[in-house]
Amino acid sequence: MTGPSSTIEQLLHQQRSFDDVGEPLHRTTFVVVDLETTGTSPGTARITEIGAVKTRGGEVIGEFQTLVDPGMPIPPFIVALTGITDAMLVAAPRIEAVLPSFLEFLGDAVLVAHNAPFDTGFLRAACREHGYRWPGNQVVDTVTLARRATTKEEAPNKKLATLARVFGTVVEPNHRALEDARATSEILHRMLERVAAFGITHREDLDALRNPMPEKIRKKAAMADAVPAKPGVYTFRGPRGERLYVGTSKNLRSRVKSYFTTGEQRRSVRDMLELAVGVDTLVCATELEANVREVRLIAEHRPRYNRRSARPERTAWVRMTEERYPRLAVSRAVTGPEGALGPMRSATDARLAIEVIQGALGVRTCTTRLPIVPRANARACLLKDLGACAAPCVRGEESGYAATAGAAREALRTDPTPVVAALATQIAERAEALDYERAAELRDGVSAVVDGAMRAQRLAALARCSLVAVRRVGDGWDVVAIRRGALAGSERVSEGVWAAAERLRALTADLELDEEVLVEERELVSRWIETPGTRLLHVDGEWSMPVAGAGRHARWVQARVADREARPLTRQTEG
């Protein structure tokens, strides 16, 4: 018997290669910036000069320099330090005129500065004051970098002049923005050569400079050397071969390496890295396949350090109990009981849904298991007197509770419209009576019911059919085959969408699932299908999807789609 995992394996050899998402430092663009200012605080001081040097691969590819009119006198000690006088700034532009040009020069490069918080603090303040959005570029502080790249003996302090002497820069810093930026740029590239030995070789590794990992963990970075720079799933293994942690990434090598170089602060992850002795990877054709693989691996192995492994049976559903006079209850299971509402987003939502359905339909709230024939001394609760319960506890079958239970089952299984309509009336009444708190509670209950019903309908729709869908991703197409809500296969292609769809359809036509499909997998698939831009190419079976109506009401639209009608993607647009 074949499962969806084995079919995915058959398709892996068909996938195309992906470019390395990680960016080596020799391809990274750096913009080294230096500012001269009238003081030390952006709250009271202003920028008087900006100098910046743009480099890539150690080569200078651009420079930016301008004086800036600060709109205030320059203190004498600043004049003595920088040589910039008030007279020099008479014809200089104001900072609001300079910022657009500087931000364009910066682009998406890594921003570098010596004592970066000083320079970025002034630039952020200027952007904020004049209505420019700070771009949020990655920042490298050469002071922090120097603490990793130099010893106390060779550089007792990390001042720019000291580092220029240590590395023998061609340009000597002189407290003028462009010259200091040039010197800082030289120092930067000399230090990057040194820290390569610590695993700082890609742009993604630069964050490790702020918070380095312990040596015993950093030494394990070699685990990433054999990992492919492709999308997929990674699994850290412990000393006994046990799975410690499962995750996904668009670039496996970069992500695995980042664990050992980016200064991970979560204690649990550091504990996991200390135990890890190896990493397994599985390259996946599409992002959806990677996410599904992750879910399946976590469910199968329950890795110790994956948070959702602790309670895999955490999914909440709302169901009717199996008894003569049933009531509503929360059920927790990987897959819900037949005819249940859900999966609910949380146990709180499940309880809210139960409360409002009880109030709308008169489902009994007591938890006692009632006999078919009421006991002679049975007594009803206050709800009977209020007309909120048919009281089968004292009236038995004569109470007509069977109709109430039937209406509740129908609301859970098929259509919650009667519940929603009744609650809409109650919400309006509560609001008119200025009881807004209760109105809000009822509103939240309606939301829980409608959301649970729509999710149940989606999963039920997926379980009834097989389909092939496609979505544009970058310069290619993700083509996926779904069977009974499970991912049966996927491919990424740059052209030949229809050929890939036919191939996947043929491979999965006779697929028999040998295990229950996880709810989490079905929800991943459902979200992928419903993402704007996804097109259905083939649908075999009955396809029906719920559609939310105005307000909090819901109407249910069913459409039987023949294969010939499920082709909104034309052959002229493929590839």
Same fold across 25-198 and 208-309: no
Q: Find out whether the peptide bond into 343 is cis, omega within 30 degrees of 0.
A: yes
pLDDT of residue 206: 81
231-245, 498-512, 560-574: which range is least confident on average? 560-574
C-alpha 522/C-alpha 402 separation (Å) is 33
> Given a cut of 80, is residue 541 above it in pLDDT?
no
CB 102 within 8 A of CB 67: no
Angle between helices 401-413 and 347-361 (to 10 degrees): 140
pLDDT of residue 36: 96
Q: DSSP character for 110?
A: E
Q: Which of 391, 372, 370 has its CA nearest to residue 380?
A: 391
In the predicted model, is pLDDT for residue 552 greater than 50? no
Q: Are 77 and 206 in contact (CB under 8 A)?
A: no
pLDDT band of residue 474 (cuts 50, 70, 90) is confident
| Residue 47: φ, ψ to 5° | -75, 135
For the stretch 249-293, pLDDT in tens is: 988 988 888 888 665 667 888 889 989 999 999 999 999 999 999
* 75 vs 400 pLDDT, higher one: 75
How does residue 397 score in pLDDT terms, banded at 50, 70 and 90?
A: confident
Whether this prediction's pTM lies above 0.75 is answered by: no
DSSP assignment letter at 567: -
E strand spans, 38-100: 47-56, 59-67
The yes-or-no verdict on residue 553 having pLDDT over 50 is no
Q: Please list the residues that pair with 479 across neighbouring strands.
A: 470, 491
Amino acid at 494: S
Range in 92-106, 393-407, 490-504 with the lowest mean pLDDT = 393-407
The full set of domain ranges for the chain reads 25-198, 208-309, 316-454, 459-573
Q: How far apart are CA 344 and CA 328, in angstroms?
A: 14
Lowest mean pLDDT among 253-257, 306-310, 474-478: 306-310
Helix 116-130 vs helix 95-106: crossing angle, to nearest 10: 120
Neighbour count for residue 113 (Cβ, 10 Å)? 25
The per-residue pLDDT for 11 is 39
DSSP 3-state assignment of 317? strand
pLDDT in tens, 124-157: 999 999 999 999 899 999 998 998 899 999 999 9
3-state secondary structure 446-495: HHHHHHHHHHHHHHHHHHCEEEEEEEEECCEEEEEEEECCEEEEEEEECC
**pLDDT tens track for 405-442:** 888 888 888 888 888 888 888 888 888 888 888 888 88
Higher pLDDT, 154 or 464: 154
Single-letter residue type at 24? P
The answer to whether residue 99 scores a pLDDT higher than 50 is yes
Please state, in angstroms and rounded to a whole number, the distance separating the CA atoms of residues 559 and 401. Answer: 34
CA gyration radius for the chain?
A: 32
- The answer to whether residue 160 scores a pLDDT higher than 90 is yes
Q: In this predicted model, what pLDDT tens digit does every residue of 6-49 receive, in sequence order?
A: 444 443 333 333 334 468 899 999 999 999 999 999 999 999 99
CA distances from 249 to 390, 444, 554 (A): 55, 36, 37
Give whole-number Cα distances, 93 to 97, 125, 253, in Å: 6, 17, 47
**CA–CA distance, 569 with 575 (Å, rounded to integer):** 11
C-alpha closest to that of 456 among 468, 464, 444, 466? 464
State the architecture of 25-198 in CATH terms: 2-Layer Sandwich (3.30)
Q: What length does the chain have?
A: 575
d(CA 243, CA 235): 7
CA distance 311 to 296: 14
Q: Helix (H, G, I), strand (E, B), or coil: what is residue 500? A: helix
Compute the mean pLDDT over every residue in the chain, rounded to the nearest whole number.
83
CATH of 208-309, one of 3.30.70.600, 3.40.50.300, 3.30.565.10, 3.40.1440.10: 3.40.1440.10
Q: Terminal CA-to-CA distance of the chain, rounded, Å?
A: 35
Active site residues: 175
Q: Which of 380, 522, 378 is nearest to 456 (CA)?
A: 522
Q: Which tokens sit at 41?
A: 């605080």
pLDDT at 100: 95
**Amino acid letter, residue 247:** G
Place of tokens 């004086």: 67
Q: Which has more pLDDT, 360 or 564?
A: 360
CA 436 remoteness from chain centre: 35
Residue 3 is predicted with a pLDDT of 47
* Contacts for 569 with CB less than 8 Å, ≥ 6 apart: 470, 497, 535, 537
